[in-house]
Chains A and B, each alone.
Chain A
Amino acid sequence: MLNKRKTYVTQLFNALFIGALLLTGSATQAAACEDASTVSVHCGNAPSAAVDDQGRLWVAFVQDKHVYVSHSDDYGSQYSTPVKVNPVAEDAEFNGENRPKILVDNNEVYVSWTKKTSPRFTGEIRFSRSVDGGATFSEPRTINDDGLFTGHRFESLYQTESGLLYMTWIDKRDLEASIEAGDDYSGAAVYYAVSRDGGATFSENYRVANHSCECCRIAIAPRGPDNIAIMWRQIFGVTTRDHAIAVLTPEGEMTEMHRASYDEWQINACPHHGPTMIQGDNSDDYHMAWFSNGDAHQGIYYGRFSFADQQPHDVYQVDGGAGAGHPYLASKDGTLFLVWKGFNGMQTDVQLITSDDEGRNWSTPQVLASTVEGSDHPLIVESDSESDNELYLSWKTEESGYVFTPIRKQVTGEFSD
């Protein structure tokens, strides 16, 4: 439980320092980006980031129908000239749930995105890599192998400890087949592919499950050295859009699938609110956070799924206020960090809570950053180099451009005198 001193210092800290972040209110980065020729992390859309073993920050973003990659050697003060990933312009999706992804492994940089294609709600899963430290990128390839102009969207990219690359996405090929056969089919399906050679080639596509929700990002976490666990919004019964968790192998098998949340959200609609998930200290435990507006749960929730009993535990309402959304989880040195976005009628706040006991108890929320203009979903990026052991808030706002700011340094401020 949180002690009183900690609460007081948190409040004091917020009063002193959050004001500093709000001082940017009169300036706006978006205006500086008016010149269309300015390509930068601050002017681009829907950035994702990763920090490599050397402490170099890498950012992928979309601008003017191109995915770009830029890097920074000083944690976001200065950035390299962005490198174009797709040489030919294409409609790379850029929104909170559908952003380019970036992973870095030594000298290799992996980038994925969804290319919007012309029939409505359709797209292709795209991948490109650099084997020369981000100087050049391979010609983008389409990973979905059905050759259909249907929905292949909301891709996620993950690299296991053993170096396997997994790509998961929402796929409508089975919906198309059902329509042709004259059958009803609710939602879409989840598919994936695996690369064993650092993205040089990918396996065939494997189906995980039918009847997923159509428009939410998929969360991925490790399950042993080669397998992954994924969490996504799934349609249970006819209309219940709660969450499922499954274990996938590189051979294309789904070894387990369970219901992960019991929110009872009976809705035939697009929430555009995907979950977040990381593995716990106990390898059978998975920390999850998600959004629901169901009969049982409304707002942002935390829960810890255990593969030991296949149930969620310590389910906790993080924020029931309207405007709450888009949670993101990370952990560092035994502490869990959960950020999410809230709106109070005037401004958008990125809030943070922490837990030192694997999600059984949580701190009171503190505001990490705010804006009075439009903003992207907040993300957390881990830095685990020899010189830097930190978690960073990765957040794009129109007011401030791309913000990459340490989280733990702010939280440890709670305990400083």
Chain B
Amino acid sequence: MIKSSVIKQIPNTLLSVIVSCWLVASASAQEDNFLPFTNDSFAKIKADFAGQEFLVGLWSVDCPPCLVELDMMGELLKANPDLPFVLISTDPLEERVEASEFLEDFELAGRESWMFADSFTERLRYTIDPNWFGELPRSYFFDANHEMQSHSGIMTRELLESWFSRALN
């Protein structure tokens, strides 16, 4: 038999309280343009880019190689400002101040940017790609038909040129 005495102690309260905690946290500092990434956000991003190619960069404040990639992307986007690039931070929205500082440093603060806004991170990752184990940085390229290609580790200019099928400045 399972001893479930710990489990029996659980008070019967509602999930909505957690959700309201998230909302309170996200309302407290609105200096940045982070959007809360929830279970339906990736579908929304794809819908926003219907019929268009786009690039997704997943990163975290706790990932040293991500800095290298953000630095590279900041430079690349300065020379190619029209590149459709969406950033998703896997850090909880409560860390938005720190995350925002990163993006400002690399001149990426004006880009479309999301942060994980549900502590059930496994499910959020699954909505992006069931085959992603969570390693960072992680990137996805969707062509105009939304055929997806993925990459783990720091992106390179060569990789991006092959994904976008054109030379970049």
Rounded to whole angstroms, the CA-CA distance of A95 and B60 in the bound complex is: 13
Contact B152–A267 (Cβ < 8 Å):
yes
CB within 8 A of A322: which of B4, B65, B130?
B130
Q: How far is the CB of B132 from chain A (nearest CB, A)?
A: 7
> Given A343-B123, A398-B119, A400-B10, A215 and B64 touching (CB < 8 A)?
yes
Contact A31–B6 (Cβ < 8 Å):
no
Rounded to whole angstroms, the CA-CA distance of A81 and B9 in the bound complex is: 17
Chain B residues numbered 1-57 whose CB sits less than 8 Å from any CB in chain A: 1-7, 9-15, 17-18, 21
Q: How far is the CB of B11 from chain A (nearest CB, A)?
A: 5
The size of the chain A interface, using a CB distance under 8 A, is 54
Interface of B, secondary structure class, is: loop
Q: How far is the CB of A148 from chain B (nearest CB, A)?
A: 16
What residue of chain B has the Cβ atom nearest to residue A324's Cβ? B133
* Contact stretch, chosen from A104-112, A135-143, A193-201, A269-277: A269-277
Contacts of A409 in B (CB 8 A): 1-3
* Contact stretch, chosen from A21-29, A47-55, A82-90, A379-387: A21-29
Fill in one digit per residue for A359-373: 1 if any B CB lies within 8 Å of its CB, else 0: 000000000000011
Contacts of B138 in A (CB 8 A): 269
CB within 8 A of A402: which of B6, B11, B125, B130?
B6
Contacts of B68 in A (CB 8 A): 268
Contacts of B118 in A (CB 8 A): 374
> Given A34-B21, A403-B6, A270 and B131 touching (CB < 8 A)?
no
> Given A409-B1, A409-B3, A271 and B135 touching (CB < 8 A)?
yes
CB within 8 A of B2: which of A20, A74, A268, A271?
A20
Contact B14–A410 (Cβ < 8 Å):
no
Contacts of B11 in A (CB 8 A): 27, 29, 31-32
> Can you list 8 A-B pairs with a CB-CB distance of less than 8 A?
A21-B2, A31-B18, A121-B62, A323-B125, A374-B118, A398-B120, A401-B10, A406-B3
Given contacts A293-B133, A374-B122, A401-B10, could you give 6 more A-B pairs where the C-beta distance is less than 8 Å?
A: A20-B2, A27-B12, A268-B65, A324-B133, A400-B7, A402-B6
